[in-house]
Amino acid sequence: MNKVEIMTFQLNELEEIYPENLWLTLSPEQKQDAWKKTFQQFDINHPNSWQIFINCLCQNEFLKWLKCDPDFQQDLNTFPEYQDANFWGFVNGSIITIGETKLVIVPTEKSHPMKIEIPQEWVDIPKFTPHYYLAMQVNLEDSWLRVWGYATHQQIANQAEYNKINKTYCLDREELVSDLNIMWVARELCPQQMFNNKLGTKVSNVSNIRSSEVLLKNLSCKNVVSPRLYADFQEWEILISSDNLRNQLYQRRCENFSEHQKQLSLHQVVSFSQWVENRFTAGWQNVDALLNLQKKTVVSQFRSDIALNKSRVKGAKLIDLGMQLGKQSVVLLVGISPEIDDRISIRVQLYPADEESYLPASMRLALLSQSGMLLQEVISRSHDSYVQLKRFKFPLGKSFSIQMVLGDVNIKEDFILDQLLGKLS
């Protein structure tokens, strides 16, 4: 079944097509409960708050499902618990222990996951290693969770492919067992033959680790988007396994992030909530107002772009590239649309201005995170009439930047996704 097909079915139809999978419905109250629990401790504007929310929701609902089943009336334990939920700010996934059996839930929001991607921490750190890994799909828009397969630790040890870039162990969906009942039966019949706990990485020797203070300082830098990817794994193992060090790192990153936000506020930041009210500042204009001043070819290119024109709110700005480039200008277009659960879909395009038919060659259009990290970019060729970034989504409260670079000219526009969802509905 392809990606388009699975998105067109109702939940009851999906349950009939995939009866072996576990399907959990999500009510608005359940999502709101996870949202409140998450942000009782964590500011919505802090780094990785969305990942914390997703993991909190998955853990909550799977735990509720277990408690409703009389076959699982045993000791149930979770990690992280709410007081340790900043763990999710670094690592995706959570542990649920049923008696002597340890499970790790690995959520993904991908609409058609083709493999389970398990963070290395759950595989190579003995303290966290489980008996089974459960692949959970999250669909907030249609309000359901789906456990679509599981793998044993031994499978991951013998068959999974290690991704050095993301530091994950990956196993194709064809290798996973889709029926959870098989796992429960195996758990009852072979309780002493679960898995060998040792895989690859040995427990790090603290004496071989750099000073924890140096490590904390390096990993709390605002330019480090993901500490787990930046750090040496043996050093990271010690840090992430220590509640004290992990809490210190999270607090420092939050403090540095808050300072960065203050610095952003000192210079002009584009507020999308003002666009909704048709108020444009800092050189931005309503798209139609600006395009009316441009040559007809540019206007027709933009208005024929179905994807961008689906955006509920659109703004445009004429960007002067400067004297050294022959007073060339370009038009930056940004369109936004509301998505489910307080996220905003954003499209960004760059067009030539005035009488030009093509963009300057080798012009770079880039998306930067609120910490200044490059998230994606596109570079114009010699006969490009426009370039665009891939559509991206951000939760409310987040900021990001669009950067345009050509030769020595470097121009950056900062945006904030403030509370505008109600205004768009």
CB neighbours of 363 closer than 8 A, spacing ≥ 6?
Answer: 330, 350, 379, 380, 387, 404, 405, 406
pTM above 0.85, yes or no: no
* 125/225 same-domain check: no
* 122/177 same-domain check: yes
pLDDT surpassing 50 at residue 359? yes
Lookup result for tokens 């290119």: 301
pLDDT bin (cut points 50, 70, 90) of residue 275 is confident
* 87/127 same-domain check: yes
CB 240 within 8 A of CB 91: yes
Q: For 94-109, what is the mean pLDDT?
A: 93
DSSP string, 173-203: GGGSB--HHHHHHHHHH-TT-S--S--SSPP
DSSP 8-class letter at 73: -
Last residue of a domain, one of 222, 245, 266: 266
pLDDT bin (cut points 50, 70, 90) of residue 339 is confident
> At 141, which helix (H) or strand (E)?
none
Q: For 341-361, what is the mean pLDDT?
A: 84
pLDDT at 107: 96
If you average pLDDT over every residue of the chain, what do you get? 80
pLDDT at 7: 47
Last residue of a domain, one of 266, 284, 300: 266
Q: For 10-39, what is the mean pLDDT?
A: 83
Helices 28-41 + 49-68 axis angle, to 10: 130
Per-residue tokens: 238: 């010690």
Could you give the CA distance from residue 359 to residue 243 in angstroms, rounded to a whole number? 52
Among 280, 249, 271, 288, which Cα is nearest to 417's? 271
Radius of gyration, CA atoms only, the chain: 24
pLDDT surpassing 70 at residue 345? yes
pLDDT surpassing 50 at residue 197? no
Last residue of a domain, one of 201, 234, 249: 201
* 347/276 same-domain check: yes
CB neighbours of 274 closer than 8 A, spacing ≥ 6?
Answer: 280, 281
* 229/259 same-domain check: yes
Per-residue tokens: 281: 């500042």
Query: Residue 319 forms beta bridges with which residues?
Result: 330
Among 261, 269, 262, which Cα is nearest to 415's? 269
Give tens-digit pLDDT for 31-59: 888 877 776 666 555 667 778 889 999 99
* 74/167 same-domain check: yes
**Three-state secondary-structure class, residue 288:** helix
pLDDT at 1: 43
CB 225 within 8 A of CB 51: no
Among 219, 26, 279, 237, which Cα is nearest to 122's? 237
pLDDT at 155: 95
* 221/183 same-domain check: no
pLDDT at 186: 81
* 220/318 same-domain check: no
CB neighbours of 163 closer than 8 A, spacing ≥ 6?
Answer: 117, 169, 170
**Three-state secondary-structure class, residue 405:** strand
Could you give the CA distance from residue 142 to residue 169 in angstroms, rounded to a whole number? 28
Percent of the chain with pLDDT over 70: 77
* 176/215 same-domain check: no
pLDDT surpassing 90 at residue 262? no
Give tens-digit pLDDT for 143-162: 899 999 999 999 999 999 99
Helices 233-241 + 243-266 axis angle, to 10: 100
CB neighbours of 99 closer than 8 A, spacing ≥ 6?
Answer: 74, 75
Q: Provide the CA 139 distance to its chain's centre, in angstroms.
A: 14
Domain of residue 279, CATH code:
2.60.40.10
* 195/255 same-domain check: no
Give the number of domains in the chain. Answer: 3
CB 210 within 8 A of CB 236: no
- For residue 150, what are the domain limits? 3-201
| Selected residue with higher pLDDT from 287 and 364 | 364
pLDDT at 260: 61
pLDDT surpassing 70 at residue 306? no
pLDDT surpassing 60 at residue 287? yes
Among 294, 325, 319, 342, which Cα is nearest to 402's? 319
* 213/322 same-domain check: no
pLDDT surpassing 80 at residue 113? yes
Q: Of 178-182, 186-190, 345-349, give the lowest mean pLDDT range.
A: 186-190
Could you give the CA distance from residue 254 to residue 52 in angstroms, rounded to a whole number? 14
Q: In this structure, how many other beta carbons lie within 10 angstroms of the beta carbon of residue 269?
A: 17
* 282/417 same-domain check: yes
Sign of CA dihedral 134, 138, 142, 143: positive
pLDDT surpassing 90 at residue 241? yes
Query: Residue 349 forms beta bridges with which residues?
Result: 333, 388
CA distances from 362 to 16, 239, 352, 381, 406 (A): 52, 42, 13, 6, 7
